[in-house]
Structure 1
Amino acid sequence: METHSDFDLPWCKELLTSPTVEITNIPTQDSRISGDKRISNSMFSRTLYTSTAIRAQINFKRPTQELDAITPYEYCYLLSIGSDLDGMTGRAHGGFNAMILDQITGEVSSNVTGSFAPATATMTVDYKAPIDTPGIILVRGWVVEMSGRKTWAKAVLEDGDRRVLASGKALFISPREKKI
């Protein structure tokens, strides 16, 4: 698998070559998340996927070790981020951290429920340490509870030493089924 040169770090190579990792997507600025007109995700595809913001991304699925996970797997992003995400020079903006946590927990909720674009009802973010830019981060998300149209998911942003930089918990509501 050909990856971006930013991922040539030993910890990234070890992670991506693990036999338990299943690469699911490698989004780019030219890719559109969905051909469905209801979901363009233009924030990512047009604004963030640039050579100075999210420089490269690899999405994958792997078994989770989280004790509160109700599914045996978690979804992950490996992100190379640039300085156009700064809130302060050399440090990612806190809003970027929250947006990435929202994105991964929404994706996890959607994948687990099969719901097309569940809506974020609430999300709590805990900031633990600054995210250095430019840099590489690992984003992990998993589902912790489901009840009817409600799905709760958790996520963390980590550095190469598995140090948690930010964490979040979100509640998603799946759309009502349309009656025919």
Structure 2
Amino acid sequence: MKSHTDFDIPWCQKLLQSDISAMEVPARGVGTAGDSDISNSMFKQTLYTSDAIRAQVNFKRLTAEADAIVPWEQCFIISIGSGLDGKTGRAHGGFNAMILDQITGSVAAEVSGTGAPATATMTVDYKAAIETPGVILCRGWAVERQGRKTWVKARAEDGQGKVLATAKALFIDPRPLKI
């Protein structure tokens, strides 16, 4: 897996090099302004900067979560800067919720196969501050699928496995087009 210099810290290197089940996946909506796939302009135009999300690696790996309904989880390793601060040295709580929404949405899109489920509800529990600048790991896995509904859990963690925030979200697939 390719890496950014912000990820040259031991816990990132260990995670990226030792997990033989990990497989890099492209970031949803990351690319040039002309991409027609998913606009995701919040990330592309606002957050992917040298002061906000400085670098990101996305991958899938086998999950150890007992409530997972598929054998894998999606992971983001994210290097963040002080441009995300709500208070000096701490990421804004809205960023925590947004990045958890992003990873749960990525999981729901893959599980549903629709590519564009909508967030219906998400509960976020804040456990500890996300320090900036810094590097965090976000993990998400599907816990239930029923009809057009997918429930996903996620967490943001630091390099020592300390849980910083958790989320449980419900996504609804778009209605099939009537022909």
If the TM-score is normalised by the length of the shorter chain, which range does it land in? over 0.9
- Aligned ranges for residues 111-126 of structure 1 at < 5 Å? 111-126=110-125
- 2 CA distance for matches of 1:84 and 1:27? 22
State whether structure 2 residue 137 is matched by structure 1 residue 159: no
**How big is each residue's C-alpha offset from its partner over 1:23-76, in whole Å with a ceiling of 9 and x where there is no partner?**
1126897x1499336x20000011000011000000000000001100000001
Contact 1:80 1:134 in 2 (8 A): yes
Report the CA distance shift for 1:106/1:2 in structure 2 as closer, same or farther (over 3 A). Answer: closer
Q: TM-score normalised to the size of structure 1?
A: 0.94
Contact 1:33 1:41 in 2 (8 A): no
- 1 CA distance for matches of 2:114 and 2:177? 12
Identity %, equivalent residues: 63
- The corresponding residue for 1:56 is 55
| Amino acid in the other structure paired with 2:84 | L
- Aligned ranges for residues 98-113 of structure 1 at < 5 Å? 98-113=97-112
Contact 1:27 1:57 in 2 (8 A): no
State whether structure 2 residue 123 is matched by structure 1 residue 138: no
Give the 3-state SS of the residue equivalent to 2:99 in structure 1. Answer: helix
Report the CA distance shift for 1:115/1:72 in structure 2 as closer, same or farther (over 3 A). Answer: same
Give the 3-state SS of the residue equivalent to 1:25 in structure 2. Answer: coil
- 1 CA distance for matches of 2:28 and 2:133? 19
**How big is each residue's C-alpha offset from its partner over 1:88-131, in whole Å with a ceiling of 9 and x where there is no partner?**
00000000000001010011000011012100000000000000
Identify unmatched segments of 5+ residues in structure 2: none
Q: TM-score normalised to the size of structure 2?
A: 0.95
List structure 1 runs of 4+ shifted beyond 2 angstroms: 25-29, 32-37
| Amino acid in the other structure paired with 2:45 | R
- The corresponding residue for 1:21 is 22
